[in-house]
Structure 1
């Protein structure tokens, strides 16, 4: 048991290393994951030696992956998993078998490994890092992109496939012949029993527990309950020899439709971030850096070989089985080309059972670690090369074909604002067509019953033509990206000058730029802010009519100020001067209203 002082010292070392290296890596656009890996290498036994026993940290840090899989499960309802079944069990299986076969054959024939070792090497290196891949996609906001969704499906299958692979290693090593059929059956029954406990518990027991905890209104108990669910499930699965991460994923999946989903996610998120960082640091600490100096050509050669084998195979799977375009398939390959955390577990069991010697094991661990370190650099390079290219997205044909009668209104963007506009128009029986570039948003909108929403980029003239914008009376721009709104407004104004445009604006500056285009701009939080102010004034003692009068006065005054500032909005000093003058004028107007009300009472 480590001394209390040593624990405190280790905690300080970990936190200091993360605080120093991660922001630097982010600043250099290398990503947080590479920062954690570098921090681990620096404080590990190979460099500064501040932490001399990385293995003691590894088990705790694995909880980061466990919490990550739980949150993924929370965000993926069973209905959505069923929709993804072809991607998970079709594309995922194809990737593991194809990559595992190619690497295994190479290990057997080229590197002279025994057949059993070659099988473990092939399948182990076919796995990619769930934590690393999803973190990289999340950092770049690509989780909902076509390659992001397919990467998630493949990683999910790999996590499932890791369970039989881990169980298979001792059998391949030839040390489990003494295990009786009865014992194997007993183990299988225990696994099924544990999964049944998680399924039944998640479905029928957890909701009442969370209801009781929520009524107690104690945040710390709520946090403890959330952690208990995750860690309890992970421990139960670990006890019967199943992946802890998969157990946590199953628990999250069962709670995905729960009304406490968002609360659970909020409670777990901070712990997930810290422990995931600790996981990557422990990977960095476990790397035998001395091999990099004693045999640099071998280590770098194996790392590049791993990426050079996996990337084209992933590209092929993405194109042939996943239906991705070229650019998305390349991105999929880059995200998943590195080795994965389950490979560390598989190879460690292989070493313990005599499939690999210590040097080969260290070489594998270092190769996987370096492949992880290269991934952010490859992603950065890919982003630079395709910065100005527009990526077409694989979309089902029925979403692309815009078939509608002549609409009176065309809506661009079916997010929160666009959906409300669509609902009101529909209730008024006013014909409209809606466009969006998110397949998930389109499918969700259509699931509410025949909403005429189609896949299409409103910044492309042929899409506007297909949507019959020229025959519409109004074009409503409701996307949440200000630049997209401005560019769309400019294109519609140029192609269809007779159509009235109403556009969503982020702030006053965007209002001015939209006004330049002859567009009626609506600030996205303006009217809700006025309503909040009105209710606050009433709550503070003003009568309903007084509050209404103040809000109307403010609206009228603000519109005048906006009109005045429009002529000078590109001059910051003049805008500031008019804003200060406007504040003083508004205060005087409110004072005059108050005096008038008091004299009226008198």
Structure 2
């Protein structure tokens, strides 16, 4: 019952804290950490069992490395080799060197300095990717570059797991290295000269087995059509690989990562991901909960200035390195600042690696605890850094740097803000019909590529009032808002509606609720970005399933008409604060009506013939 009670406490903390943290834009990792802090140091509900649970939950990190490996197909890695080696590799090496040098200045030996430098070179994949996605920044130069660096860091964890034990020394504390928990049982059974052969053989067995043995086994299991057995086989693969690597004294995460890369081109890659993901998510969540619960706040209150100084020093050092790299590759002002601030925190792998560094004797307990707490502080400060960038720095820096905003040669009758996939189609349609279109976008690479094929676009940030005014918008007939970022798009429409009331505003919406937001902001015509294309593909799907083209067209038209009716009915159920109580009831009623509309005039669904038979 004690285990159930502890599990109940951890689950309650996670269920309450993580959704709140997500809504506040803090991310799930910080939500777990905050929940752990609340049930541990603050309320004292959990205590000694947190350390034992953390050893169990560390298997979530092993699963994370397996999933990272599944995503890293060799062809993709090869296509990104320039960014991975140039941006990512340079960031890891330069940050490691700078932080290691700083540690040696403060009196640490070189083994400790190198270990700390390597660990702090990593950033938080979970926090950064989630924030970039939510803000619509993944498509920017800074966002793409951040993704490449994070990918390199994920790969760099693997050699770090192998290097840290090699840095182990016996000069800390009692002079005896701590037990790492990695036994190397197989190595104990063979002489020293044969140990490299055993290690190479074990790694080769993972590579060869993953390519020639595992796939036939999964194919055989899949034919049973028992999902739980396939899930069990996926877990067996991860656990078995981890045990094999543990038996030869290497990191379990190294083996599972290698197995993931080998299986990345497998036909069962997606099934493996979907089966492992829930276990990984739960175990990682439990891991971060235990990290939060195990934070020594007595240490923080004893030395608050020192720990905050370490956290700020980490972020400052990483920002300096990232800013220098961004300058070398000629990022513009806003992208450079996003790249520098976004990756300035330490990452979630630091909790694991600092624990490992203490376990093998590289770092003493007190130093490992201080660095772990400093890592948590950098993660807590990251949302603040993103807010500073978005609210204060980006609006001023978006056009500073190596390239100034282009000078608008002549005002246009139509102004298009944003020339991504959506904006390009609009621009082509209007331009080929003889209209004078002025296009603004802040992606220099995209503008250059479009210029090669005859499209004229100007580099600049459409959210800058002064630059927007130079497009001739005051006398324009239409303004088309198609920039990235939900909030940025709404704010841009609000600005144009307020300052240029005579201009008709057309806007791209991300979803139904965004339609209402943009209409309230002043847009005269709003279109959802994926609705029509998805509807057309749905019509094609009906034809492929055997319906006649004419009937598929009728169903498509009926669906479109019903969806716009639903859009109108739900409009009264929505406000800027969300939806009212009747929203779900109205939506459910509309869905039931849709089923009836999709039936033919006799009230019975058409029986779709076999597509294969139709082909013959």
TM-score band w.r.t. shorter chain: 0.5 to 0.7
Taking structure 2 as the reference length, the TM-score comes to: 0.66
How far is the alpha carbon of 1:320 from its aligned partner?
2.3
Whether the 8 Å contact between 2:122 and 2:153 is mirrored in structure 1 is no
| Aligned counterpart for 1:372 among listed residues 351, 375, 378 | 375
Paired residue secondary structure (1:387): helix
How far is the alpha carbon of 1:515 from its aligned partner?
12
Whether the 8 Å contact between 1:338 and 1:371 is mirrored in structure 2 is no
Cα distance in 2 for partners of 1:453, 1:248 equals: 49
What's 1:317 paired with? 321
- Write the deviation string for residues 24-46 of structure 1: whole angstroms up to 9, x where unpaired: 55566654434434544565699
1:133 aligns with 2:105: no
What's 2:100 paired with? 100
| Aligned counterpart for 2:279 among listed residues 247, 271, 275 | 271
**How many pairs does the alignment contain?**
549
| Aligned counterpart for 1:303 among listed residues 300, 303, 307 | 307
The aligned runs of 1:242-261 (5 Å cut-off) are: 242-261=250-269
How far is the alpha carbon of 1:62 from its aligned partner?
0.9
Whether the 8 Å contact between 2:507 and 2:518 is mirrored in structure 1 is no
How far is the alpha carbon of 1:96 from its aligned partner?
1.5
Structure 2 unaligned blocks of 5 or more: 178-186, 408-413, 431-436, 603-616
How far is the alpha carbon of 1:537 from its aligned partner?
10
What's 1:115 paired with? none
How far is the alpha carbon of 1:63 from its aligned partner?
1.0
- Write the deviation string for residues 66-93 of structure 1: whole angstroms up to 9, x where unpaired: 1222222333343256341233433212
1:225 aligns with 2:233: yes
CA 1:201 to 1:464, structure 2 compared with 1: closer, same or farther past 3 Å?
farther
What's 1:67 paired with? 63
Cα distance in 1 for partners of 2:518, 2:79 equals: 40
CA 1:164 to 1:287, structure 2 compared with 1: closer, same or farther past 3 Å?
same
Cα distance in 2 for partners of 1:171, 1:302 equals: 27
Cα distance in 1 for partners of 2:243, 2:200 equals: 15
What's 1:112 paired with? none
Deviates more, 1:338-347 or 1:19-28: 19-28
Cα distance in 2 for partners of 1:450, 1:230 equals: 49
Cα distance in 2 for partners of 1:197, 1:172 equals: 37
| Aligned counterpart for 2:515 among listed residues 498, 510, 518 | 510
How far is the alpha carbon of 1:480 from its aligned partner?
6.9
1:33 aligns with 2:41: no
What's 1:405 paired with? none
How far is the alpha carbon of 1:474 from its aligned partner?
11
Whether the 8 Å contact between 2:92 and 2:118 is mirrored in structure 1 is no
Deviates more, 1:265-274 or 1:5-14: 5-14
Whether the 8 Å contact between 2:33 and 2:288 is mirrored in structure 1 is yes
CA 1:122 to 1:488, structure 2 compared with 1: closer, same or farther past 3 Å?
same
Whether the 8 Å contact between 2:519 and 2:526 is mirrored in structure 1 is yes
Paired residue secondary structure (1:169): coil
Paired residue secondary structure (1:241): coil
Structure 1 unaligned blocks of 5 or more: 109-117, 403-407, 426-431, 596-602
Deviates more, 1:510-519 or 1:21-30: 510-519
What's 1:58 paired with? 54
CA 1:125 to 1:519, structure 2 compared with 1: closer, same or farther past 3 Å?
same
How far is the alpha carbon of 1:328 from its aligned partner?
3.1
Whether the 8 Å contact between 2:319 and 2:343 is mirrored in structure 1 is yes
Cα distance in 2 for partners of 1:23, 1:560 equals: 32
Cα distance in 2 for partners of 1:53, 1:311 equals: 32
Cα distance in 2 for partners of 1:105, 1:397 equals: 35
1:169 aligns with 2:168: yes
- Write the deviation string for residues 151-193 of structure 1: whole angstroms up to 9, x where unpaired: 45345425422412212304777989xx99x966544444333
- Computed over aligned residues only, the root mean square deviation of the Cα atoms, in angstroms, reads 6.0
Whether the 8 Å contact between 1:311 and 1:334 is mirrored in structure 2 is yes
What's 1:157 paired with? 156
Cα distance in 2 for partners of 1:541, 1:521 equals: 34
What's 2:78 paired with? 79
What's 1:201 paired with? 209
CA 1:230 to 1:312, structure 2 compared with 1: closer, same or farther past 3 Å?
same
Taking structure 1 as the reference length, the TM-score comes to: 0.67
